[in-house]
Structure 1
Amino acid sequence: MDYRILIRFKILKQQISLHFYFNFNSAYPFNCTMGGSIVDDDWEFAASSNLVSTIVLVGKLGYGKSSTGNSILGRKAFLSKFSPAGVTSTCEMESTILKDGRTINVIDTPGLFDSSGGSESIGQEIVKCINMAKDGIHAVLMVFSIKVRFSEEEQTTIEKLQSFFGERIVDYMIVVFTGGDELEDCPMTFKDYIEQAPKPLQKIIHWCKNRVVVFNNKTKDKKKQAAQVEQLLLLVDSVIMSNGGKPFTDEIFLELKAGALRLQDKEKEVESLKGYTEEQISELRKEIYKSYNDQLARITTMVEHKLNSTIERLEKQLAEEQAARLQAEKISEEARVKSDSEIRELKASLKKAQKESEEFRKQSGSQGCNIL
């Protein structure tokens, strides 16, 4: 079956099944796929010739990115265990081949744009992540945990991502909630959880065009495992379709890819050389890799500067917002105090007026009796 027809068939099938499963009413903000994409009659999809999709897991340390990656791959490829701190310390990539022949590359990250790491180490990991996905990223999975209360830091994480890569990055984003086992043990449904989520979190979901899915990485039920992965991959397909089959890239991706291609070309040139000793060829290879490593170092420095600039700009924006909020609270408090003072004065005036009125009435009554 043609790849484009297969994807369209799978998405339409999922739309129908999810419609009957969730039975959402018109007030619910998600469509049947929980994705937000619409399959039109004139839909066209430019599938890559080698049918490879690369997805990147981002989010705070300890939120279950590695276990989610393992669920997608169907095996324990990434180190994942219960820990008060994150387990993943560097970017890693693993791949799997689906039944339809497609290859899925999954890149696990150690909390990119997380405040727990310094700009130098984060910059190195961003370059490493981009270098792993030289041909671009087809989907970014923004991972949150149902078990952890949503905070201001989560909101700034996605803002850093947007500010660093540009607004266009949200077109490739899918929101993934881990901790689905928590919902299975209580009467609250995932729909209830989303509807009761704080406004900043709902705003993030809206930015991602309502592409959201919940994962239970602890379940041993094979059907549940397969169902949640299939739902996620359908959302990945919807992202690919909505972006015309083109993965996300920017100048950093393009520069790293160009450097890798130059490295390959020079390696081929060295391999084709004749009349040189092994020592001379070894020296040439050292020079080639030194040049490539110098390029990586230069790009890493550029990324670190950009990251620092992004963080400083967002921190300044946050400080201004906090200052404005404090000023608004101060004005509100002053107004409240003034209002309370005015109310007290009014009450005192009324009490005084009542007392004077009562005294006047008594005096008037007393005078009436004297006349009689």
Structure 2
Amino acid sequence: MFTSELQAGGVTMECVMYRTAIKDGPIINVIDTPGLFDSSVSANYITTEILKCLTMAEGGIHAFMFVLSAGNRITQEEESTLDTLQLIFDSKILDYFIVVFTGGDKLEANEQTLDDYFSEGCPKFLTGVLRLCGGRKVVFNNMTKDKVKNAKQVKQLLAHVEAIEKNNGGKPYTNQMHRMIKEKGDKLREQQRKVKSKKLASEIEVMKQDLELEHDEKMRRMTQLLERRLKQNSEAHERAMREMREAMRNYK
């Protein structure tokens, strides 16, 4: 379900939507996004992908999945990602947060459970995240071919999503950017409906051109806003890293 590979750069390079039908359950759409601090891509590319993600989830987001690798050390980039998500959206996303761990096979190889992993010295950052999101967490195995185990893990994830929906009155997460994108989509569909009902091909073409220009301008403004926010957070992250390295040099 979640791609995990041993490599320096991010695995996901662009927003991709995966759709699956759960047996005796709902149809699930999962949007995989690039890392916010992937050094191999530009801030402009990342902001464009964020807007692409919001467009895919025009009706709102039912859950945010913060994916980490079980047993691996939490990186500064992963900590900064959470700060950046709250900067781009707002702190309300934590009401929709689930911490997803990949690499459950590693824990099993060491005869550990996820609770064992936490009891043996859970990082302060992770403790804080779990407290803020109500302790919602689930672990997935990468290598197992056990269908029963896979189904159980998916069921645990969906139980968290259902709990989030209930806690938020059945309303998915939306913000100002979401509303702008939805408004644009609704406007486009309504105008298309009106023009098509008149069967005026020439008007359809003119309308498409006008709406594309309007859409491009709105997306450009939102991209610039997101880029500024990402740059500010990236600069703060770099300052913190420089200060930490300086402190370590002074300590030596």
Aligned: 1:288 with 2:192: no
Unpaired segments of 5 or more residues in structure 1? 1-66, 69-79, 334-372
Aligned: 1:180 with 2:104: yes
The aligned counterpart of 2:45 is 121
Aligned: 1:204 with 2:129: yes
- For 1:113 and 1:105, locate their aligned partners in 2 and report how far apart those are by CA, in whole Å: 24
Equivalent positions of 1:355-366 (< 5 A) are none
Query: 1:201 offset after TM fit, Å?
Result: 2.1
Aligned: 1:158 with 2:87: no
The aligned counterpart of 1:369 is none
- For 1:301 and 1:279, locate their aligned partners in 2 and report how far apart those are by CA, in whole Å: 34
Aligned: 1:263 with 2:188: yes
Greater RCO (Cα-Cα under 8 Å, separation 6 or more): 2
CA contact (8 A) 2:21 2:27 kept: yes
Q: Kindly report the root-mean-square deviation, in angstroms, between the aligned alpha carbons of the 2 structures.
A: 2.7
1:193/1:101 Cα in 2 relative to 1: closer, same or farther (>3 Å)? Answer: closer
- For 1:167 and 1:298, locate their aligned partners in 2 and report how far apart those are by CA, in whole Å: 23
- For 1:326 and 1:129, locate their aligned partners in 2 and report how far apart those are by CA, in whole Å: 39
1:113/1:264 Cα in 2 relative to 1: closer, same or farther (>3 Å)? Answer: farther
CA contact (8 A) 2:4 2:11 kept: yes
Q: Deviations along 1:179-213, whole A, 9 cap, x unmatched?
A: 01111212333222112222222222222221111
CA contact (8 A) 1:90 1:110 kept: yes
- For 1:226 and 1:191, locate their aligned partners in 2 and report how far apart those are by CA, in whole Å: 20
Equivalent positions of 1:325-340 (< 5 A) are 326=247
CA contact (8 A) 1:137 1:249 kept: yes
Q: Deviations along 1:155-174, whole A, 9 cap, x unmatched?
A: 11111112221211111111
Q: What code does the residue aligned with 1:291 have?
A: E
Query: 1:258 offset after TM fit, Å?
Result: 0.6
The aligned counterpart of 2:69 is 145
Aligned: 1:90 with 2:11: no
Unpaired segments of 5 or more residues in structure 2? none
- For 2:36 and 2:241, locate their aligned partners in 1 and report how far apart those are by CA, in whole Å: 22
- For 2:148 and 2:220, locate their aligned partners in 1 and report how far apart those are by CA, in whole Å: 46
Q: Deviations along 1:78-135, whole A, 9 cap, x unmatched?
A: xx57462444321111222334442321111122354553210110011001111111
Aligned: 1:227 with 2:152: yes
Residue 144 of structure 1: SS of its match in structure 2?
strand
Q: TM-score, normalised by structure 2?
A: 0.87
Query: 1:319 offset after TM fit, Å?
Result: 6.1
The aligned counterpart of 2:57 is 133
- For 2:39 and 2:90, locate their aligned partners in 1 and report how far apart those are by CA, in whole Å: 19
Residue 252 of structure 1: SS of its match in structure 2?
helix
CA contact (8 A) 2:10 2:38 kept: no
The aligned counterpart of 1:110 is 34
Q: Deviations along 1:211-231, whole A, 9 cap, x unmatched?
A: 111100321111001000001
Residue 117 of structure 1: SS of its match in structure 2?
coil
Aligned counterpart for 1:312 among listed residues 216, 235, 243? 235
Query: 1:321 offset after TM fit, Å?
Result: 6.8
CA contact (8 A) 1:112 1:126 kept: no
Q: Say which one has the larger Rg.
A: 1
